[in-house]
Amino acid sequence: MKGKYLKGKNVEYDGSQLSPLWTYINFDVPGDSIISFRGPCDVAEEYMVDMEDRKKHAAISSPDMLHFLIELFGVGMVAMVLVQRLLITVVMELLRDSIDEDAELEREYDNIFALAPGATERGKLSVSVATVSPVSGLIHLGLNITSEDIPVPAAGLEELGVEDVDKFAVDVARLFIEEMKNVNVDACKSRPVL
């Protein structure tokens, strides 16, 4: 699995990026991959793959997010949802080491909620979706950098005390790649039972 952080490159996420071979076509990263970048988010309804959000005409937007796109080949929908949960778990683990000690985190399936120091209510830190294409499984995870100008109660990495967003992006990808490599190692070392 390959990883790449597009440091200093502002990419506006509108949902169209959640498509097969997008990272290969645009950034020469072929095969199983995790790519991350920073930029605004405004998902067009035509690109919403979560049908619950689409039916509700949900507004999925943020002026500044840290985005992760994952593409895995040869996997189905259930496997991609499980990989999505693994990614969320990796993010939670790193956040616990990076945020202000007075901040609170909570995971609800594929969502992360947080209560920043001084905040009166918890806010949504993440947006995430998993899907499949004819050739691959795809995941998008977006983490708010700030809670400003978001259409739902939100939390942001800055308010939580994440001081170096670039380093955090690289650390998430590195740890996720390590987890995926270890999954493959463990899958190859157990004998079958009859």
Domains and CATH numbers, the chain: 2-189 (3.30.930.10)
Q: What is the mean pLDDT of residues 66-82?
A: 97
pLDDT band at 1 (very low <50, low <70, confident <90, very high): very high
- Write out pLDDT tens, residues 111-155: 999 988 888 889 999 999 999 999 999 999 999 999 998 888 899
Q: Phi and psi of 183, rounded to 5°?
A: -60, -45
Task: Looking at the chain, list the stretches that DSSP marks H as alpha helix, in order from N- to C-terminal side.
Answer: 22-27, 51-55, 77-98, 157-160, 165-189
Give the pLDDT of residue 69: 98
Q: What gap in Å lies between CA 116 and CA 139, rounded to an integer?
A: 26
- pLDDT for the residue 40: 97
Residue type, 187: A
C-alpha–C-alpha distance, residues 94 and 66, integer Å: 14
Measured distance CA(194)–CA(189) in Å, rounded:
16
Residue 169: pLDDT band (50, 70, 90) is very high
Angle at 84 (CA atoms; ends 124, 176), nearest 5 degrees: 105
Q: Taking 90 as the threshold, does the pLDDT of residue 190 lie above it?
A: no
Nearest 5°: the CA angle 104, 65, 121 is 30
Q: What pLDDT, in 10s, does the model give residues 17-71?
A: 999 999 999 999 999 999 999 999 999 999 999 999 889 888 899 999 999 999 9
Q: pLDDT at position 30, please?
A: 95
Task: Please give the angle made by the CA atoms of 41, 19 and 167, to the nearest 5 degrees.
Answer: 50
pLDDT of res. 78: 97
How high is the pLDDT of residue 116?
85
For residue 58, which of 153, 152, 145, 156 has the smallest C-alpha distance? 152
